[in-house]
Structure 1
């Protein structure tokens, strides 16, 4: 399981999903990559902790590997996460896949987040690719046609296929009008998709509560402005139409062409949403099955 903060992590959806699984499944760190091989420190500065005027700790950006042993499940999980590096993507991807194979992995799942014209009031759409479409069938993700830039997760996906390891890559669609805050709803969608793909259960009660608060807070912010509310309704119509006739149909394309760009500006509750979700992550107790 791979996710990296950065370009393909809209709403912190993917990195938070791996973080939730790591905490709730009590994953243990087993390896890290030397940060000087991957990062320019002007872009990813180390994090220092100072207490009473004394430097207490220094944390370097790194890609880390964690293992979650789950006796009650049919398989264990290997979790890879960290900031998307500035360099050596090819060698890092090769190392990640080779490490997964050496640990007995049977397939690779990469996660990401994508800013999109979707409403926060509807189920989170997922886009997926796979080395074998039967692998992704349980998730019901949209299958895209795309040619263009990719993130590190895309490189890992292709490298897994090159080394003969089945691979699935999932992207959660995050509303672009709340791009600046974490999306626990998108995180929940990715965690639930991973549960379907791996049959490994993940306790998600707290994440569900955070997702409900997120939707409520964004709705309250949008409802304060009639223009925002009207534009959001158009996005909801588009989402409902896609649900009925599928993406890519002429009616959806016409509605998209007519749709003015939804620009809600900076929602007043953004800081509150971010603080709420960060508090949720901090308060997680791996021993609490709720």
Structure 2
């Protein structure tokens, strides 16, 4: 009943001096026209009429319209919206970044890239916050060539990648089992003068532990602790269990002490593994202990 909605809006216009409207009211109207009716122009009209009712749109309403235009591939209209956007009091650059993030999270990386290419036409300049969701999106899909191309594009455009940018790449590579490349990215950070943070080392540590490279993982953990960083409970757990498999009791002792000093309490199953590492002398007793551990873990 879209005609009735228009009659109602006109009636409300006549009553504007007595009625106050929230942004949520106009947002609902835009959703009705943009999604249900497929009348994007009408939704845009409502957006720009909001100040007439004493209600100014936030980035939420503005981004809703942008999403409609992106989905409809009406990129020329996006430029027109941005030209007249300042009179709405909306921060344009922030909206673009939010929109790109939304497109990436919904898996629409093609539209996000297209919008990135539109930045110069919109008289806007991307920043680190613009590229981060794109990098994460391509890493999640395992498309690392595209992710590294984006990194190169940032550098060419004079946008300095920060630790979070590199951490996204390292984390993505680690989840795909490409630990060596993750370590190389960390070294690349240092060469560029970008100091790795605790998140960087944590991701590299996870990768080494996943590959059961306990010696290198131990060195990384020692560095983190000596630099005042706090490895996660999960990394301590992985480290202890990995060392227990190789029966390295001395290293287990050091890791446990560091773990407790950082406020983490080993659980029952982990203690059983430690006991097995320290006191088991033969295969038969190991099998008995494994059965005990299985029962402990099953019972919680």
TM-score by length of structure 1 reads: 0.27
Highest CA radius of gyration, 1 or 2?
2
Name the structure with the higher strand share: 1
Q: Which has the higher contact order (CA 8 A, sep 6+)?
A: 1
Question: Would you tell me which structure has more helix in proportion to its own residues?
Answer: 2
